[in-house]
Chain A
Amino acid sequence: MATDELVLLQDVVKEFRGVRALDGVSTTIRPGITGVLGPNGAGKSTLIKILLGLVRMTSGTGHVLGRTLGVNARNIREVVGYMPEDDCYIPGLTGIEVVQFAASMSGIPNTEAMRRSHEILDFCGMQDQRYRAIETYSTGMRQKIKFAAAIVHDPDLLILDEPTTGLDPEERVALLNRIRSLADRSHKSVILSTHILPDVQATCDHVLIMSHGQIRLSGSLRELERPTESRLNISVLAGQDRLTSWLQEQQIHVTTQPNGLLQISAGDPDLLERIWQAAAERQVAIQSLAPSRNSLEEIFMTAVKEAADASP
């Protein structure tokens, strides 16, 4: 296993009473922030539980941070932090006690666990609320506590399951910044499982799209967003109708995007010059004319649709 491979999975299958939750998953996750995307039932949670060693694979092999899956799950959880999607807490404990408890269970001695918990809660922006019973917390505060509990033992790999659920926009941005900062400054690797595509776009270096228990697409976000065919986006300040009708006269397929941009196929190498000339002749004010990029939403929808079409 190469040293730059955080996670390596080969033909991983997981069946629950005859139902395949994971169907031959093979992938490599590299350092950085990896977004795991997929509709409900895609197998994301099962994949995470397999990575944590909570669920045994039916077949296949895998390694997490050089440790073999299915051999000693406890070894893996020593170096992995997990923030579950579920609102899990122990009633009666205060916020600081939850984080300290998590630290102690990870092997940090008691006094040190308390010091470290305060340090992490400071990092998470949790003020005096840390001394309140956790059942009195808002969803946002609970998310912060879960996040703090996941990183308190200084894991090398952080697995976050829907971390921004229930957060207001300000808190969401703050959490994503924290995640980004952990990756950039502290060189932590993160696996971010989420439904929220803008979160992935804002933070992730790599994306892994799952559907029907299989990985449909994986790669760096930059690569995936690169245009697969030559297309141009045109933003028009004035005279959009005139430009549209000229493009149609030239038998160029043109579509209007939801954000008002015109999108055209750019097969002809002279097209750019002709557009500028036509715009000048017809007094069309073009604000920008740039190659189009695939949006993550398009990539996601295409991958999921292909999976749905392919499944019996």
Chain B
Amino acid sequence: MPVHDVGYRAWNGRRIASYWRWWTISARGVALILKSKWIRRMLLFAWASVIYWAVSFFLFENFIETVRQGIPGQAAMAAMNELEGTPIGMVAEDEVERILARRLEQQIPLLRSSEAHQLAVVLADDDRAHSRRVFWTLMTLTFFRYPQAAMMVFLIGFIAPSLIANDMRSRAFLLYFSRPIRTRDYILGKLGILAAFLIWTITLPALLLYFFGVMLSPNVSVVAVTWDLPLRIVLASVVVIIPTSLLALALSSLTQESRFASFAWFAVWGMGAGAHLAMQGNFMTRILGSRGMLDGPILPSEDRWAFLSLYECLGGVQRWVFGAEVSNRTVLTSAVVLSGVTVLSLLVLNRRIRQAVQT
């Protein structure tokens, strides 16, 4: 045989197992998307908020170190020179809590009034372990709910609409399905692409935030109180990734024009949030009130209109995952909505892909 034989040669190598074929679709999809300079920038930007949140952990841990262990309530205040000269036992408990809450708000900008008060109550009882638990949970939850949720909506809004719509337009379906690939492999492969980016945007920054929090804490005993947070972070990520990714893929499969899918994606979030705010009855207060949005709790424990908004549904279940206070009704409603979105999206995907292959 010549050194450079350009004739056809047989291939007798060993093939990889068929149940890993979806991984090929995911890996190729991720590599293709990462060719975009803007996506790479967005992915880097998604990690920026970690620093800001990590500083809050540092500030809180320093704050509770100033409250000397074993000196509850008013004594703690005295130790902090808040009530200098006032005899111990002469200050009402709620006054102590109020002062602690104010100090917390001053020192940790990310903390809202309601959360600061919640923490102050625990701190006034000198339950430092519990206060750490409450603070770390709250901060991780807000990390999920605000910067990372916004990044998730924008990132998926840029990536997902073209994932199936482009395959439909360019008839790339035949490239996939003329191979030993099943519909479920294709869906799983596409889901894997979005999951990879969401893990990068949500899960890994949250885990890094936890790691930074531990590293920046003056007292390593914080690990004993918060050891389960990484597991909750992973679980909360799954809660976000599965319904949202499947919904985005279903929208993408409904059209050959990715911009329509993109519009539908943002409409789902925008209209859902708008409807939820309107039905809660405090729309004007929350939108226009100068302090309304800042003073309200991250999530009300009871939210009977959560089902209107995908964002609120995610919040309801995530709150439950993190062990924050939330009513069973809200969790149940939110879980049902998210499950419904997941099942409906799967049905749409399955039907649309089969139709496209057969025509």
Contacts and interface: CB of A to CB of B under 8 A. Distances in A.
Contacts of B17: 107
Interface stretch (A49-57, A218-226, A243-251, A286-294): A49-57
B173 A88 contact: yes
Give 9 closest A-B pairs by Cβ, nearest first.
A107-B15, A82-B178, A88-B171, A154-B11, A105-B179, A86-B171, A84-B174, A74-B180, A104-B24
A151 B8 contact: yes
Contacts of A92: 32, 35
A219 B7 CA distance: 30
Interface string B176-215: 1111111000000000000000000000000000000000
A2 to B, nearest CB: 24
A192 interface: no
A90 B167 contact: yes
Given A104-B28, A107-B16, A109-B16, A90 B172 contact: yes
28 contacts: A54-B177, A54-B357, A74-B182, A75-B180, A78-B180, A84-B175, A86-B174, A88-B173, A89-B175, A90-B172, A91-B166, A91-B170, A92-B32, A93-B28, A98-B175, A101-B175, A105-B24, A106-B179, A108-B11, A108-B13, A109-B14, A109-B15, A122-B6, A123-B6, A123-B8, A125-B6, A154-B11, A154-B12
B1 interface: no
B25 interface: yes
Nearest to A93: B32
Contact of A55 (B25, B173, B179, B358): B358
A52 B357 CA distance: 11
Nearest to A86: B171
A98 B358 CA distance: 22
Identify whether the interface residues of A are mostly helix, strand, loop, or mixed: helix
Contact of A89 (B6, B7, B170): B170
A105 to B, nearest CB: 4
A55 B52 CA distance: 54
Contacts of B11: 108, 116, 153-154
Interface string A142-183: 000000011101100000000000000000000000100110
A12 to B, nearest CB: 16
Given A77-B181, A108-B13, 16 more contacts: A78-B180, A82-B178, A84-B178, A87-B171, A88-B170, A88-B175, A89-B172, A90-B32, A92-B35, A97-B28, A104-B28, A105-B24, A106-B179, A150-B178, A154-B11, A181-B7
A193 to B, nearest CB: 14
A112 interface: yes
A112 B13 CA distance: 9
Interface string B10-45: 111111111001001100100010010000000000
B180 to A, nearest CB: 4
B291 interface: no
A125 B8 CA distance: 11
Contact of A105 (B167, B171, B181): B181
A3 interface: no
Contacts of B180: 74-75, 77-78, 105-107
A105 B176 contact: yes
Nearest to A107: B15
A81 B14 CA distance: 17
Contacts of A186: 8, 10
Given A107-B16, A185-B8, A77 B179 contact: yes
A105 B188 CA distance: 13
